[in-house]
Amino acid sequence: MRLLRRFFPQKDPDYITNKYNIPATMSWNIQLNQNGLVATSKDLPGLVTNAKNPEDLLEMINDAVLEYFDVPKFDSDYIFDKLNLEGHGEVYLKQAEKKRQYA
């Protein structure tokens, strides 16, 4: 993905949410099972994703939402740069922390 971003820089997440009518915030139901974390959203029926840890879950949520709304890979890798785990803190997307410059 890094090579792709050299030619097609990440677009501003606000631009992506507006262009593809993606809600700016979403509620997630996150459950812990023997394989890790599973996230579903009432806002997006049928969307289910999972990961081993909260950091990976945020990446998987971004990927699932972008796929759900048919956002091309060359436009965006993410739209959410943090995940608020109510009462347990926040998780930040590593790639968003490194670079806040958009095309």
The tens digit of pLDDT for each residue in 62-82 reads 999 999 999 999 999 999 999
Question: pTM for this one?
Answer: 0.86
pLDDT bin (cut points 50, 70, 90) of residue 102 is low
Exposure letters 56-87 (e unless 16+ CB within 10 A, then b): ebbbbbbebbbebbebeeebbbbbbbebeeee
